[in-house]
Chains A and B, each alone.
Chain A
Amino acid sequence: MHTPDDSPARLAQALRESAPRDEVRRTVLSDVAELRQEPPRGLVRRAIDAKWPVAALGAAAAAVLVLVDPPRPAAGPERLGRVEAHATPWADPYAKEDDAVTRARATNEAAWKSMAADVVAKHNGSWVVVGDGKLLAVGARLHLVAGTGADLPHRFVFEVGTEGDDDLFVSSWYGTRFCGVGIHSALGTDWQGGAGGFRLSKGGKTVQATLGDAFPRLVVRLLDPDPRMHDPLAAVAGEVFFGTVGPTLMLTPQDHRRLGLARFEVPGTVKVGEFGPARRVLVRVSIPEVEADATIEALVPTMPYETLVGFARWRNSWWRWAESIQPKMPATIPALGTPGHPAPATEAETWILFGRDRILASGDSPSAALAGDSALEDVDYHRFLMRVPFEKTLTLREVDFAREPRGVDLNGAIHPARTSTPTGPLMVTPEVGRALHLELAEDARDLRLELDAKAGEPNACGLRGGYAWMRTPDPKDPGRITRRLVLVVWPDAC
């Protein structure tokens, strides 16, 4: 027999065991993806629905007086593919860190340096918060101190004794986010590798990672470590490459900003192989499929963003050598035509978008391939947009470009560009290339520019290029704006 005092606990347990099936969620969200919202009903309709005739008459009369522009259903956003982003919720990754955060970090670093010996002697093993240049809180558990000074731009929050500099071996920058086996100790999960992916399990539940064949990944949820600050909209659903070597978790600079992890940094810098430095932070990680949920220490790279783009670009070039190593590694490198290899799904699909070790999308045009990746709202450092079969080289002539740049509407803003034909290509500076995020749709060919050179001067140089949306008035109907994807190049090795 239960005592009456058990009621809440037993009800909680019973409710936990009663949940709608996942299939209902999938169906609802799939239907929602197809279903347009209704515009708000007007006064007349509301009054009629409310069976309120007098009000309906009054509202109708008012509507007659003000009916100049009746409401129209809002058109859904056109799917363009993520070349115009980083729109919200991601900040521009090239933008400098907020000055207030940088200043507060410097203050807290100096404060920690001066107090470290004393705090370690008195509070080793405790959780502390250093903010505003002071020791703000000491507690036995993270959750007891996490809320102290939470509105400061920067804090150190850590368990005394774990802080400090470190070196970490990694052989490659494996992915946008990646982790080593340490994450399993932190989350209490078991990892089992195998053909076609890996499995994570915990407490009898299992999740299979299938994103990518040769290098499978899993989407995890990243959250603010302060439980009081949880907001589902702020959670990051992030793709992570699960490897054997590596940190507990490598995040991206965008994660750091979006989750406000400057409020949860740990003193010290980690040197990540030969790649560069990273900051230590706390982040809450959740894998709902196996009910794994823990606040863990992660790293955030602090090298320039261009460097991270370069790491991803190098990694995304693997398809150039995959053929040569395929005979040696048949189990790990997928065969032609399978996901992960740059071959389209059908013959009609002659363009692919390639990144994160796999084909992200394909289509019969560059814009179709690009639009296919719209559903992936995650961070990317770099993607190739290319035609298959692969064309190795594209040579352009300098004489075909206008000598002086003019303002062109590219990716929704006016940028100076040297034009050639009405359908491109355009030539811009590297700065404009960055502003356009051409690294998210880079042309994979070897691009060369034949220079209009005098005798004795170099007559060719290398180019980099990618695709951007150009908006121009329709020549047949100047009142209408048309949009096309154009190749935009800039001198790289001239």
Chain B
Amino acid sequence: MAAPTAPTVEAARRGDREAFAALYDAYARPVYWDLLARLHRREDAEDALHTAFLTAWRRLPELRSADRFASWLFRIGRNAAADLRRGRRLAPRGAAIDGDRAVPDADEDAAPPWAEAVRGLGEDARLVLWLRIGLEWSPDEIARVLGISVATVFRRQARGLDHLRRREQETIHAHAG
């Protein structure tokens, strides 16, 4: 799916629910990846995703420029993750709270390994990785939706990939050692 254009955002801002559905389809996965990297549990990431998109829908009329939608949405996602952490004392990773009893996480709820690998990577580089590697959007499209230059896209992508390679080498050495 290609990056949504400003008219799609404008239409959603005017209350067009079909356009908002198109925005959901375009951005749900990268926002979810971002949330998964923050919350480390799929169910929490889905809860925050739901909250983030409802917040975005309600507050879209406040968005001053359609060109800022992507950054704005990811910021809402970050806030939703922070609210979730604040509002609910998250169980330590590897365990879920079931009433008063701690039970092992179901395997399907655990975050995949890449969510751990991107830990420590700056938000801006992470965002470019989601859009460039995850969605295969072109550097031009990413530059447009994030309001940055194409050169910056390349720089952030390179920084992100360097980070992943470093983490991979660390893992290999840790296992070898």
Contacts and interface: CB of A to CB of B under 8 A. Distances in A.
A36 B59 CA distance: 10
Contacts of A38: 58-59, 61-62
A232 B25 contact: yes
**B contact face: mostly helix, strand, loop, or mixed:** helix
Contacts of A232: 1-2, 4, 8, 22-23, 25-26
Nearest to A230: B2
Interface centre among B1, B133, B172 (most CB of A within 10 A): B133
Interface stretch (B43-51, B92-100, B142-150): B43-51
Contacts of B5: 231, 233
A25 interface: yes
Contact of A37 (B8, B22, B57): B57
Given A232-B4, A233-B11, A20 B22 contact: no
Interface residues of B, number: 49
Interface in B1-39: 1-2, 4-5, 7-8, 11, 15, 17-26, 28-29, 32-33, 36
Contact of B28 (A4, A12, A17, A20): A20
A404 to B, nearest CB: 42
Interface in A377-401: 377
A4 B15 contact: no
Contacts of A32: 17, 20-21, 53-54, 57
B130 A231 contact: no
A29 B50 CA distance: 10
A40 interface: yes
Contact of A11 (B15, B49, B129): B129
Nearest to A32: B57
Interface in A1-40: 1-2, 4, 7-8, 11-12, 14-21, 24-25, 27-29, 31-33, 35-40
A76 interface: yes
A412 interface: no
Interface in B45-89: 45-46, 49-50, 53-54, 57-62
Interface in B79-128: 112-114
Nearest to B157: A8
Contacts of B46: 20-21, 24
Interface centre among B26, B33, B57 (most CB of A within 10 A): B57
A37 B61 contact: yes
Given A14-B114, A15-B134, A232-B25, A28 B50 contact: yes
Nearest to A227: B2
Contacts of A51: none
Given A4-B169, A231-B2, A29 B17 contact: yes
B75 to A, nearest CB: 14
B15 A37 contact: yes
A233 B45 contact: no
B33 A24 contact: no
Contacts of A33: 17
Contacts of B62: 38, 40-41
Contact of B32 (A19, A27, A76, A377): A19
Nearest to B25: A232
Contacts of B155: none
Contact of A7 (B1, B25, B112, B165): B165
Nearest to B115: A18
25 contacts: A7-B165, A11-B134, A12-B133, A12-B136, A14-B112, A14-B114, A16-B134, A17-B112, A18-B29, A18-B32, A18-B36, A24-B49, A29-B17, A32-B20, A32-B21, A32-B53, A33-B17, A37-B60, A38-B58, A38-B62, A231-B5, A233-B5, A233-B11, A233-B18, A235-B22
The 9 closest A-B pairs by CB, nearest first: A232-B22, A230-B2, A15-B134, A4-B165, A233-B8, A14-B114, A20-B32, A28-B53, A7-B164
Given A4-B168, A37-B15, A233-B8, 4 more contacts: A1-B172, A35-B57, A231-B5, A233-B22
